[in-house]
Structure 1
Amino acid sequence: MVQYQPAHLDASFAALSDATRRGVLEQLGRADASITELADKFHMTLTGMKKHVGVLEEAGLVTTEKVGRVRTCKLGPRRLEEETAWIERYRQLWAARFDELDNVLEELTRKEKVDGRKNGK
């Protein structure tokens, strides 16, 4: 069984829980950007964007580099493999439960049809 580091997963899921941070990741997937460019794109203050980038950076999802007065952001080295494995485990669990529910419903439907024929309907 895969062992997960709870703090690591907590940081990742906390970072991904915010729509702005997910948007930043999508933007950085297209091209590196400065914090100023990101703040402009998302219509927020530099301070607000710095906080979002800091959360993403703490989770290892973004790296920043300061050259002169410009801090450039790019996607970090993490590829979310552990998070994907965690989600997949629960996706499989729920898929199996829904498959079983389908089987129960099919059986109930079959019994209803048989009972209906016995009652002359």
Structure 2
Amino acid sequence: IIAMINFGLGFLHTSLKEIFGYIFMPISFFMGVPTKDLVEFGNLLGTKISVNEFVAYVELGAIKDQLSPRTVIIATYALCGFANFSSIAIQIGGIGGIAPNRRSDLAKLGMRAMFGGALASWLTATIAGMII
């Protein structure tokens, strides 16, 4: 589904990652990311949410020389965790197998669980940013 959305957005010369990047810029700022790195950091958060954290870490490794050391440390914590769209499906499939009659409840809570998981890693990253 994400690939189809990105295909459609490709006609506008953008991607879901870039859109999430701009959406996450204020969150990045409040985490303590330097202003020159806000867009790239937001793109990393967008990659983590829309694809997964492994791809985001690979992208972080590729651009870490362009970012400040502070941003790299904050990103290391912010990208940690399984809060992404594919994890919602994994949660519904895994836990739904144990309790098939509760699948609809799991589906209703999927987005909230993803947001809660993302918020937990973002708060950890914010505290790391305060310490360094």
Q: Same fold (TM over 0.5)?
A: no
More helix by share: 2
Question: Which has the larger Rg?
Answer: 1
